[in-house]
Amino acid sequence: MNKYIVEFIGTFFLILTIGLTVIGGAGSFAPLAIGSVLMVMIYAGGHISGAHYNPAVTLGVWMRGKCATSDVPMYMIAQIVGGALAGFIVMYLLGKGGAPAENFDPIKALVAEFLGTFALVYVVLNTATTKSNDGNSFYGLAIGFTVLACAYALGGISGGAFNPAVAVGVSVMSLSSWANIWVFLVGNFAAGAAAALVFKAVYKGDD
Amino acid sequence: MNKYIVEFIGTFFLILTIGLTVIGGAGSFAPLAIGSVLMVMIYAGGHISGAHYNPAVTLGVWMRGKCATSDVPMYMIAQIVGGALAGFIVMYLLGKGGAPAENFDPIKALVAEFLGTFALVYVVLNTATTKSNDGNSFYGLAIGFTVLACAYALGGISGGAFNPAVAVGVSVMSLSSWANIWVFLVGNFAAGAAAALVFKAVYKGDD
Amino acid sequence: MNKYIVEFIGTFFLILTIGLTVIGGAGSFAPLAIGSVLMVMIYAGGHISGAHYNPAVTLGVWMRGKCATSDVPMYMIAQIVGGALAGFIVMYLLGKGGAPAENFDPIKALVAEFLGTFALVYVVLNTATTKSNDGNSFYGLAIGFTVLACAYALGGISGGAFNPAVAVGVSVMSLSSWANIWVFLVGNFAAGAAAALVFKAVYKGDD
Amino acid sequence: MNKYIVEFIGTFFLILTIGLTVIGGAGSFAPLAIGSVLMVMIYAGGHISGAHYNPAVTLGVWMRGKCATSDVPMYMIAQIVGGALAGFIVMYLLGKGGAPAENFDPIKALVAEFLGTFALVYVVLNTATTKSNDGNSFYGLAIGFTVLACAYALGGISGGAFNPAVAVGVSVMSLSSWANIWVFLVGNFAAGAAAALVFKAVYKGDD
């Protein structure tokens, strides 16, 4: 149970920060804040739950054999509930929701979400689940700043979710249209699976 | 005594940086500077005092059993004196104080201060007081950048203190009205206590 | 083979981020995103390939005796193919390429590329190949943020590649003219070699 | 000799970055680049020379007993030569020097330089010279980002040198008037000494 609470808390603060910075007017500083909050929540929760905060990460970590099958459904539920709740809190605090981007191209967005999520899960698996990197202090910085970099690079094309729980949260707060949520679900889960397959092909460590 | 001096120095530089960047015109770079100075003062002072620099952190760490009861009053006094002195130095250096935000909503500010301080104390307890994260090099980065992220996300709503000593300092330099200081005291101490309770519920390590 | 795939992936994401942030309008935040993506790909791939992502780094590491001669050609090919492919993906996603800087001075650019690449390879050799820094968690941060700093400092003069694979990628996407690619090839490889010579002169460790 | 070369290289790149970003138009991103380049040069050179890159740091480390007296003059000469040379390279690359701030108040600048340098040397001594922090990976991040934070906070008052070698370099490139260099020499060396005294009073470790 404690693992699910940690997943809920981390995902809640991730999506709270996304909504408040993007709708609230932090402008181009939003990715810095978002990458940072993901980093700090990973450092805070990693020792308890593994600090996924992202159903696509949970999929990839499960395929890599580092997440118990029995934990997968509750992890994803905790993440999505945390993301949705954050969406409502954002709207309460700002007194408004956001508006979806007008030039959303679903195919390019799908490519962008695939690329960003692939990078994210590839970094997670290499920095946080391998024996050769055991005991390092950089995993949170690496994972959080992957989202920072990909949000600057790809955010203008897809919005830069790279995370189905984020997709739910930004749909709740009207930053993204519910009609487009399939783009995120397909792109993110496909990329999480692809990153796990690539990781398993290139990592030759014994654990 | 040396611990109290370290708490004084760290809190002084935290609030000096807040005042000089917010009033002095660093604009949207202020949270980057503020999160960074908190980080560096934590790395500098952690091995001596634990590097709280925040009465709400001291409350949370004390509830978690990692701060001696006899240290609590002097820690808080050193922090508040450091914050107040920083406020006067800021006004000397800039030749002026600040002005409170005009659209301050006390209830939303209370929610914002609670959320940001909860995140901060939750990150502190997990990264700096647990055996499973012993010897890590990331605790300062995690704690400092929690304030960075929360200042970008919540600063527009409450000013983004997350710290009663900061609340005193920004009141000294007129960035916040003394009439609103209860918002910070209530929100910050309540969140520090809540984070300690949640931490104790979810952390199952043996120390 | 797995090492070459890792070099391909890391260089691909580095140059994808360069193109999307510089052409796509991230403005002065581009170096932050670029330094960050280099950092995260180094943390992700370091334990497999050494995470060069740059033919000039491969040259320097080989001269320092930490890259097998048999790996050098395939490393460079994987990096350049990754950079070129990223250039095409950028143009697909943005629907356009970039435009070369109009005030490009080849001699000053050569000096700028030499200085930036020297700093980069000097940091790589000291932080990632020495026994005295073995097991540190900072090598990715150090290397990535060298590019961040040098891009802010020198980007206005040369574009700030510091990497022949980046030079190919930005030429593919028309951010730089093919007629000027010699500036990067000469400046980057000369600096990689010079950094290796300086490193060998100043490092007195036993490995 | 190798230690002096490392001090020369690190200080050269620090002041090269200062000149190119401040005169060259990086605007408010300059402190990010400057703090980052100091960080990376500390990580690169720390294992060889201790990575001072600053005569005021050399003074403080010498008072704390961690720099041989015989090294002090050559360290300071290497730093100042590196800073001056960087000033000339900046003017070559940009085709111009800078202009001193018009509203320079020597007394406030002296206070600002004292405060920033005190913070810097205090962080250096605690993170890079104590047994209780031995083997950490954060010292470069802590020291570099102290300059980042203090440059945002105090740069508008004194220019934000916190380093006599920087003062020489920025005077060479006309960012500061030679008539004001005493402000930096007095403020920086006094603060380096004060930080060493405070450190020795509060640090109770056995080494």
* pLDDT, average across residues A133-154: 97
Residues of chain B neighbouring A2 (CB-CB closer than 8 A): 201-204
Ranges of chain C with pLDDT below 50: none
- Return d(Cα A76, Cα A71) in angstroms, integer: 9
Contact with chain B for residue C70, Cβ under 8 A: no
A27–B198 C-beta distance less than 8 A = no
Q: Does position A66 have pLDDT exceeding 90, yes or no?
A: yes
Chain B, 71-90: which have a CB under 8 Å from a chain A CB? Answer: none
Output DSSP code: residue D71.
Answer: G
Residues of chain A neighbouring D138 (CB-CB closer than 8 A): 137
pLDDT of residue B143: 98
The torsion region of residue C68 among left (phi > 0), alpha (psi -120 to 50) and beta comes to: beta
Distance from CA of B145 to the nearest CA of A (A): 6
Angle, helices B106-128 vs A30-49, to 10°: value is 50
A34–B149 C-beta distance less than 8 A = yes
pLDDT of residue D79: 98
Q: Does position D141 have pLDDT exceeding 90, yes or no?
A: yes
What is residue C163's three-state secondary structure?
coil
- Return d(Cα A42, Cα A64) in angstroms, integer: 19
Cβ neighbourhood burial of D201 (10 Å; 0-12, 13-18, 19+): exposed
Give how far the C-alpha of residue A15 lies from the chain's centroid of Cα atoms, to the nearest Å. 9
pLDDT of residue D197: 98
Q: Smallest Cα–Cα separation from D32: which of C39, B165, C31, B93?
A: C31
Output DSSP code: residue C175.
Answer: S
* pLDDT, average across residues A2-9: 98
> D25 falls in which pLDDT band (50, 70, 90)?
confident
Contact with chain D for residue A28, Cβ under 8 A: no
pLDDT of residue A25: 85
Q: For D137, which residue in chain A has the nearest alpha carbon?
A: A137
A2–B202 C-beta distance less than 8 A = yes
pLDDT of residue B198: 98
pLDDT of residue C207: 76
Q: How many CB atoms lie within 10 A of CB D130?
A: 20
Residues of chain C neighbouring A157 (CB-CB closer than 8 A): 20, 93
B45–D152 C-beta distance less than 8 A = no
pLDDT of residue A206: 72
Distance from CA of A118 to the nearest CA of D (A): 28
pLDDT of residue C205: 80
Q: What is the CA radius of gyration of chain D?
A: 16
Angle, helices D2-24 vs C106-128, to 10°: value is 130
Q: For C137, which residue in chain B has the nearest alpha carbon?
A: B137
Ranges of chain B with pLDDT below 70: none
Q: Tokens 């698996």 appear where?
A: A125
Distance from CA of C128 to the nearest CA of A (A): 14
Class of domain A2-202: mainly alpha
Contact with chain B for residue D149, Cβ under 8 A: yes
% residues pLDDT > 70 (chain A): 100
Interface probe with C: pick from D1, D28, D43, most Cβ of C within 10 Å: D43
Q: Count interface pairs A-D at CB distance under 8 A.
A: 3
Q: Neighbouring chains of B at 3+ CB pairs within 8 Å?
A: A, C, D
Q: Could you please report the per-residue DSSP string of C64-128?
A: TT-S-GGGHHHHHHHHHHHHHHHHHHHHHHHSS-----TT--HHHHHHHHHHHHHHHHHHHHHHH
Interface probe with C: pick from A105, A113, A138, most Cβ of C within 10 Å: A138
Contact with chain A for residue B180, Cβ under 8 A: no
Q: Count interface pairs A-B at CB distance under 8 A.
A: 109
* Tens digits of residue pLDDT in B166-207: 999 999 999 999 999 999 999 999 999 999 999 999 998 877
- Return d(Cα C34, Cα C22) in angstroms, integer: 10
Per-residue H/E/C for chain A:
CHHHHHHHHHHHHHHHHHHHHHHHCCHHHHHHHHHHHHHHHHHHHHHHHCCCCCHHHHHHHHHCCCCCHHHHHHHHHHHHHHHHHHHHHHHHHHCCCCCCCCCCCHHHHHHHHHHHHHHHHHHHHHHHCCHHHCCCCCHHHHHHHHHHHHHHHHHHHHCCCCCHHHHHHHHHCCCCCHHHHHHHHHHHHHHHHHHHHHHHHHCCCCC
* Tens digits of residue pLDDT in A102-127: 889 999 999 999 999 999 999 999 99
Residues of chain B neighbouring A34 (CB-CB closer than 8 A): 149
Phi, psi of D33 (to 5 degrees): -65, -40
Contact with chain A for residue B28, Cβ under 8 A: yes
Structure tokens at C132: 């005295």
- Return d(Cα D207, Cα D201) in angstroms, integer: 13
Q: Does position D143 have pLDDT exceeding 80, yes or no?
A: yes
Chain A, 128-147: which have a CB under 8 Å from a chain D CB? Answer: 137-138
Give how far the C-alpha of residue C19 lies from the chain's centroid of Cα atoms, to the nearest Å. 14
Domain coordinates in residue numbering, chain B: 2-202
As for the ipTM of the complex, it is 0.97
pLDDT of residue B137: 97
Q: Smallest Cα–Cα separation from A145: which of D120, B178, B149?
A: B149
Chain C, 90-119: which have a CB under 8 Å from a chain A CB? Answer: 92-93
Angle, helices B181-202 vs B106-128, to 10°: value is 40
Q: Does position D200 have pLDDT exceeding 80, yes or no?
A: yes
Q: Tokens 């009141």 appear where?
A: B171
pLDDT of residue C57: 98
Interface probe with B: pick from A93, A94, A127, A147, most Cβ of B within 10 Å: A93
Residues of chain C neighbouring B138 (CB-CB closer than 8 A): 137
% residues pLDDT > 90 (chain A): 96
Q: Smallest Cα–Cα separation from B104: which of B157, B162, B175, B155?
A: B157
Q: Smallest Cα–Cα separation from A94: which of A27, A167, A16, A162?
A: A16
Beta carbons of B42 and B61 less than 8 angstroms apart? no
Beta carbons of C41 and C13 less than 8 angstroms apart? yes
Q: Does position A204 have pLDDT exceeding 90, yes or no?
A: no
Q: Smallest Cα–Cα separation from B62: which of B45, B76, B48?
A: B76
Contact with chain A for residue B203, Cβ under 8 A: yes
pLDDT of residue A114: 98
Distance from CA of B202 to the nearest CA of A (A): 5
* Tens digits of residue pLDDT in A149-190: 999 999 999 999 999 999 999 999 999 999 999 999 999 999
% residues pLDDT > 90 (chain D): 96
* Tens digits of residue pLDDT in D85-127: 999 999 999 999 999 998 899 999 999 999 999 999 999 999 9
Partner residue facing B148 (CB), from A6, A9, A33: A33
Q: For D148, which residue in chain B has the nearest alpha carbon?
A: B33
D198–B43 C-beta distance less than 8 A = no
Q: How many helices (H) and strands (E) does chain D have?
A: 8, 0
Residues of chain D neighbouring A137 (CB-CB closer than 8 A): 137-138
Contact with chain C for residue B69, Cβ under 8 A: no
Distance from CA of A121 to the nearest CA of D (A): 25
